[in-house]
Amino acid sequence: MAKKRDYYEILGISKNATAKEIKTAFRNLAKKYHPDINKSHDAEEKMKEVNEAYEVLSDDNKRRTYDQFGHSGMEGMDQHAGYGGFGSFKDIFSGFDGFNMGDIFGDIFSGGNSGYSSRRSTTPMKGNVKSKVISIDFLESVVGTTLNLTVDQYHNCDLCNGKGYEHEEDIEQCKTCSGLGYQNVTTRTFLGSIRQQKICSTCNGDGVTIKKKCEKCKGSQTTKTTSDIKVGIPAGVENGQELLVAGYGGPGRNGGPSGDLVIIIKVNPHKYYVRQGQNIYLDFPVSIADIIQENNVQVPTPYGIKNIKMKSTYKNDQMLTIKDAGVDLKTEKGNLYITLKLVIPNYNKKELKDVRKVISSKEDTINSDFIKNF
């Protein structure tokens, strides 16, 4: 038989621990190892071990015997049924001053909505946040733009002042919860019966129900209008970035203000430009004739056309930098990097004959040099 662990060690307390410290340690471990919370394979065994240690150390007589003789002193004693399972939990926890079983097990049986003990406050509450995805062009994201949007806007009903009813006689005490705002619910589990308090499903915690709804808002507490607004999109905005527009979200409650609207920016990809951080990249086709003749070529940038002089030394895939033609992030402006893609012009027969004549008079060793060094 495996050697039994020390009870004090199991609860993680010292041998001088007070009764209160023993209870606190047991409560914390019960929350940690209860099988409905902890799904590990050894959780149930650990819980039995914790329960056994508590049964002994919480009883003054058993604790004195254990302190003097250890586990051998416990043999033959009237062992509590709690050693073999969890049936004694309810009795043990009910002895904790000011302790509610829902504190530990509420999340298991009520989806996290335990411990409700009074009417929900009618304090004005701000409305929920709403979101809206807006698509913009790539160039708009670089230089900034202004969006013209039509959005919903909620206002507290001016007839009932955001209450949902016009006169006090238009409401009555909730018949389901008798005006408390909550309902007592008893759940039967292997631990025994657990009694909890939940928000009343009829009055939603208000304690009252409306007999006659406001003629204007029909009990919703708010009225809705549509508004045309302008939203400034800053230069440098990125795909997925969120912008907050205050006051255009969901309706408030109990006279509270409307929530906020979050604009989620979707940047449409550009046909040629690619953005990386504050810099923009462009594959730029250029005629080999412009390279040879060192002509000026027009390069499109987000801020307009830029004239760049070609050089006869430029090679295919060579990268050139146009400073400050990237994304303006206020603190620093990025660059536009263009990668040259050399293209042979579409000459007609006569032009091609002239080109061949010129080229044939010049020695070209590119291929022979490659073969020589291969």
What residue numbers does the annotated binding site for Zn(2+) cover? 157, 160, 174, 177, 200, 203, 214, 217
Interatomic CA distance for residues 127 and 114, integer angstroms: 24
Look up residue 143 and give its two tokens. Answer: 């230089």
In contact, 250 and 132? CB cutoff 8 Å: no
Look up residue 282 and give its two tokens. Answer: 């462009």
Residues 6+ apart with CB under 8 A from 111: none
- Name the nearest CA neighbour of 251 among 127, 93, 163: 127
Interatomic CA distance for residues 280 and 351, integer angstroms: 37
Interatomic CA distance for residues 358 and 362, integer angstroms: 7
C-alpha dihedral, 176 to 177 to 181 to 184, nearest 10°: -120
Interatomic CA distance for residues 309 and 39, integer angstroms: 71
Residues 6+ apart with CB under 8 A from 106: 112, 113, 114, 115, 196
Beta-ladder partners of 144 = none
Residues making up the annotated binding site are 157, 160, 174, 177, 200, 203, 214, 217
Radius of gyration of the chain (CA): 39
In contact, 99 and 91? CB cutoff 8 Å: no
Interatomic CA distance for residues 292 and 270, integer angstroms: 30
Look up residue 199 and give its two tokens. Answer: 């928000």
